[in-house]
Chains A and B, each alone.
Chain A
Amino acid sequence: MARFVARRVLWALVTLALVVTIAFFAVNLLLPYDFAVGIGQRPRAIEQVRETLGLDRPLFVQWLDYMWHFVRGDLGESYDGDRVSSIVLNVLPVTVAIFAVGGIVAYLLGEWIGRLVAWSRRRFLSAATSVASVLLFAAFPPFLVFLLTHFGTDWLFEVRSWFGLTVKPYAPVPAGPLLNVLAIGLVAAFVGGILLRSWARKHGRRALGFVAVPVGILAFIASLLALGVWADAIDLMLWPSAVMATLALILIAFGESMLVMRAGVTAEMTEDYVFTGRAKALPERDIRDKHVAPNAVLPAISRLITSVPYLLTGLIIIERELNLNGLASLFFSAIESGNVPIIIGILVVVGLIGLVLRIVLDVVQATVDPRIRIEGEVA
C-alpha cells in the first residue's frame, strides 16, 4: 500500500509540473495584452515597467523562472507586486466552503435518488429523472441563478427571520477568521458524517447510517454554540448570496451523479448475486443497500471527482452572478486588467484541488479494490 501511495504521489508531481507549464504557456500566449501599456503612456516608461517586471525576457526564460519559484511553493508576484499565493488564499475559503458543501450534498442526493429510481424500475420515474438531469446538466448558470433569486429570495428571508436575522442584499461574504473556521468546520462535519454513515452501513446499523450526516452537522452546530459564535456564524451560513450559490451548484452537480448511480445500479441488478440474495429471501432493501449500491457507488464518486475542475468553473460563473467574493471576483478582475500571474495562479489552484481529490480517490479505490493496487492502473 505504501508503495502504491508513493507511486501515486510521484505521478501527481509530474502531472502538476505539466499543469503549471501548460497553464503558463496557455495564459501567456492567449493574453499577450501588455500589462505595462496600461500603466505608462510613453514608450520609454512602458519599456521600463516591462524590464522591472521581467517581461522583456524570452518566454522560455520566464517559464524557467516561474518553475524555479513554483518548486519552492511560490506562485510568484502579481503585476501589482502582491504575492499571488496570499491573494488566492484570501478568496479561497468562500469558494471551497460552497464547493465542498454543494458538491457533497449534490452527490448524496444524486446517489440516493439514482438508487431508488433504478430499483423501482418505473418507466415514468426513469424518464422524468432523465429529462430533469439532462436539463440541469445543460442549464445556463446565469438563468439558474436568476430563477433562484427571483422565486427564492422571499423564502430565504423567511428562513433567515426564523433565526432573528435581518434582510441582506446579495453582497460579498465578509472575510475573516470566522469564515475560515466555518469553511473548515462545515467540510469536516460533512466528511465526518459520511465516514460515520459508511461505517454504520458496514456494521448493519441502518438507523445510525440514515442520520449520520445530520448528526455530523448537529455536532458542528453544537460546537459553534459551545464556542459562543453562534449568532455571527448563522448569519454567515445563511448569507443570501452564499446560500443561493450553494443551491445553484447543487442543481448543476446533482444530475450527473444521479445518472451515473442509476446506470450503475441498473447494470448491477441483473448480476447473479442479486438473484442469489432473492433466493435466500433477503429483504429487498438489504440487497439494494448492502450488495448492489456499494458496487455502483465507486463509478459515481469517480465521475464526480473527475468533473471537479468543470464544476469549479460552473461555480465561478455562479459566483460572478451573485457578486460573491470567491475565486470568481479575482479571476474576472485579473482577466480585465491582464494580470497574467494571478490567472495562472488560479488555474494552478483549480488543477491542484482536482489533483488532490484524484489522489484521495485513487487511494480509497485501492483500499476497496485490491485489483487496482496490484495492477497499478488508474481506474
Chain B
Amino acid sequence: MTERTADPRFEHEIEGWADTRRKIRQSKMVIAGVTLLGVFAVLTFIHPVLQATIWSDRPAVYRPETGHDPTISHPSGPTLDHILGTDPLGRDVLSLMTYGLRPTFLVAVATALAAGVVGLVAGASSAFFRGRYDRLMTHISDAFVLLPPPLIFLIASKRGLMGPFELGLLYGLFFGLGPAAIVVRSRALSVMEKPFIDAARSVGGGPRWIITHHVVPHVIPHVAVVVLAGVVGALVTQGFVEFLGIAEYRYGLGNLVYNALTYQAVFGSGVAWSALMAGALGISLLAASFYMISSGLREVTDPRRASRRI
C-alpha cells in the first residue's frame, strides 16, 4: 500500500490509510493477536523441521499418529525427551499438536477467504446498486444470519467427503452471505454518501471502478473485523468435528482432546493433562488470536472510540 499512497494519482483516494496503520500498530490487542498467530504459524510449519533434526534419532517414536515411546509409562508429563509429554497411547504430544494444527490452519484460511470475498461482493454490490437488488440481498442476509454456519458445518462433515478446506469454504460462504454481508453493506452505504463518490461519478467513473477503487478500500478494515471474528466459530466447530471423530483424518487437535478424555476413562489412569491442554488450548488460543486481532481492529476502525485505549 505504501507505493500507492505515495503515487499522487491515488493521494486522495485512500487517505486515512497511513493514520489507520499507525493506530493498528499501537493497538495492544492487535499486536498480541498477531504475535500469538505468528507463534501458531511457526508451530504449524515446524513439524517436518523437527522430524528432520531433533527427532531424527528415533523417528518412529515421534511419528504423529503411530509413534510410541516404549521406554516410559504413559500418559507422562513434560520431560526433556517429550517437551509436552505423551498422550495415553504413548504418542508425543508436541508432534501430535504441531501436526494437528495443519487442518486447523486450513479451515481458518479457507473460512477467512470465502467469508471475506463473498461478504465483500454481496455487501458492496447491494450498497452500490440499491433498489430491488439491495432489498433482495438484505432479505437473504437476514435469513443467513439466522442459520448458524456451525450447524451446517456439522451436517456437511458427517458425509465424510469434504476435507477441512472445503468445509472452511462452506462455513465462509454461509458466514459471508450473513453477518459479513450485513456489516459490509452498512459500511459501504455510508461510504456511498461521501462527496468523493459523486466526484468520481462526475469525471466518468464506472460502477466497477468506483466499487474497486473507492468503496472496497474503505470497507476492507470492517470486513477484516467481522471475518476474523467469524473464523473463531469455524475453528471451534472444526475442533468439535474432530472430537466427534467424523472428520476424514484422525490427527486433529480435537482428536487429541478426545483421546485424552476417552483413554483416561478406559485405562483408569489419571487425567492426561498435557494432551488435554495441548489440544484444547491449541484450538482456543489460535481462535483467540483471530478474535483479538478482530476486536483490536474494531477499536481502531470505530471513529467513536478512535482515540481510546481498549
Binding site for B on A (CB under 8 A): 11, 14-15, 18-19, 21-23, 26-27, 30-33, 123, 126, 130, 134-135, 137-143, 146, 150, 259, 263, 266-267, 270, 306, 309-310, 312-313, 316-317, 331, 335-336, 343, 346-347, 350-351, 354-355
* A138 contact set on B, CB distance < 8 A: 232, 235-236, 283-285, 287-288, 291
| Given A135-B284, A140-B283: A27 and B155 interface contact (C-beta under 8 Å) | yes
Determine the distance from Cα of A316 to Cα of B155 in the docked complex, in whole angstroms: 13
* B142 contact set on A, CB distance < 8 A: 11, 15, 18
Asked whether B219 is an interface residue with its Cβ less than 8 Å from the other chain, the reply is no
Asked whether B194 is an interface residue with its Cβ less than 8 Å from the other chain, the reply is no
* A309 contact set on B, CB distance < 8 A: 145-148
Binding site for A on B (CB under 8 A): 29, 139-140, 142-148, 150-152, 154-156, 158-159, 179, 232-233, 235-237, 239-240, 243, 254, 257-258, 261, 271, 276, 279-280, 283-285, 287-288, 291-292, 295, 299, 304-305, 308-310
Q: Select which of A23, A141, A347, A351 is within 8 A of B236 by beta carbon.
A: A141
| Given A22-B144, A335-B154: A130 and B284 interface contact (C-beta under 8 Å) | no
Determine the distance from Cα of A22 to Cα of B288 in the docked complex, in whole angstroms: 30
Q: Select which of B143, B150, B239, B280 is within 8 A of A313 by beta carbon.
A: B150
| Given A14-B139, A130-B29, A310-B233: A142 and B257 interface contact (C-beta under 8 Å) | yes
- Shortest B279–chain A CB gap in Å is 8
* B156 contact set on A, CB distance < 8 A: 30
Please determine whether A146 and B261 come into contact, CB atoms closer than 8 angstroms.
yes
- Shortest A149–chain B CB gap in Å is 10
Determine the distance from Cα of A76 to Cα of B226 in the docked complex, in whole angstroms: 36
| Given A138-B284, A150-B271: A267 and B159 interface contact (C-beta under 8 Å) | no
Task: Determine the residue in chain B with the shortest Cβ distance to A309.
Answer: B148
Determine the distance from Cα of A355 to Cα of B144 in the docked complex, in whole angstroms: 11
| Given A22-B144, A134-B288: A140 and B305 interface contact (C-beta under 8 Å) | no
Please determine whether A140 and B257 come into contact, CB atoms closer than 8 angstroms.
yes
Chain A CB within 10 Å, residue with most, of B145, B154, B279, B288: B145
Task: Determine the residue in chain A with the shortest Cβ distance to B258.
Answer: A142
Please determine whether A351 and B147 come into contact, CB atoms closer than 8 angstroms.
yes
Please determine whether B154 and A137 come into contact, CB atoms closer than 8 angstroms.
no
- Shortest A67–chain B CB gap in Å is 14
* B143 contact set on A, CB distance < 8 A: 15, 18-19, 21-22, 351
- Shortest A26–chain B CB gap in Å is 6
Please determine whether B159 and A33 come into contact, CB atoms closer than 8 angstroms.
yes
| Given A134-B292, A137-B288, A263-B305: A30 and B146 interface contact (C-beta under 8 Å) | no
* A31 contact set on B, CB distance < 8 A: 155, 158-159
Chain B CB within 10 Å, residue with most, of A27, A31, A140, A270: A140
- Shortest B127–chain A CB gap in Å is 14
A-B contact pairs, 11 of them (CB 8 A): A15-B139, A22-B147, A31-B155, A141-B240, A142-B243, A263-B305, A266-B308, A267-B308, A309-B145, A343-B155, A351-B146
- Shortest A30–chain B CB gap in Å is 5
Please determine whether B283 and A310 come into contact, CB atoms closer than 8 angstroms.
no
Chain B CB within 10 Å, residue with most, of A21, A317, A331: A317
* B154 contact set on A, CB distance < 8 A: 331, 335
Q: Please give 11 more A-B residue pairs, beta carbons under 8 A apart, in addition to A15-B139, A126-B310.
A: A15-B143, A19-B147, A21-B143, A31-B159, A135-B288, A140-B240, A142-B257, A313-B150, A316-B151, A335-B155, A343-B155
Determine the distance from Cα of A140 to Cα of B279 in the docked complex, in whole angstroms: 9
Determine the distance from Cα of A27 to Cα of B152 in the docked complex, in whole angstroms: 8
- Shortest B84–chain A CB gap in Å is 16
Q: Select which of B144, B146, B233, B240 is within 8 A of A142 by beta carbon.
A: B240
Determine the distance from Cα of A142 to Cα of B252 in the docked complex, in whole angstroms: 15
Determine the distance from Cα of A33 to Cα of B257 in the docked complex, in whole angstroms: 29
Task: Determine the residue in chain B with the shortest Cβ distance to A142.
Answer: B243
Task: Determine the residue in chain B with the shortest Cβ distance to A334.
Answer: B155
* B258 contact set on A, CB distance < 8 A: 142
Pairs A-B, 10 closest by C-beta atoms: A143-B280, A18-B143, A138-B287, A351-B146, A309-B148, A138-B288, A313-B150, A313-B148, A140-B280, A19-B143
Determine the distance from Cα of A86 to Cα of B308 in the docked complex, in whole angstroms: 52
Q: Select which of B159, B232, B279, B309 is within 8 A of A137 by beta carbon.
A: B232
* B287 contact set on A, CB distance < 8 A: 138
Q: Select which of A32, A137, A313 is within 8 A of B151 by beta carbon.
A: A313
| Given A15-B139, A142-B257: A355 and B146 interface contact (C-beta under 8 Å) | yes
Determine the distance from Cα of A343 to Cα of B152 in the docked complex, in whole angstroms: 10
Please determine whether B310 and A310 come into contact, CB atoms closer than 8 angstroms.
no
Task: Determine the residue in chain A with the shortest Cβ distance to B178.
Answer: A309
Please determine whether A350 and B284 come into contact, CB atoms closer than 8 angstroms.
no
Please determine whether A18 and B155 come into contact, CB atoms closer than 8 angstroms.
no
* A310 contact set on B, CB distance < 8 A: 148, 150, 233
* A312 contact set on B, CB distance < 8 A: 148
* A30 contact set on B, CB distance < 8 A: 152, 155-156, 159
* A259 contact set on B, CB distance < 8 A: 295
* B295 contact set on A, CB distance < 8 A: 134, 259
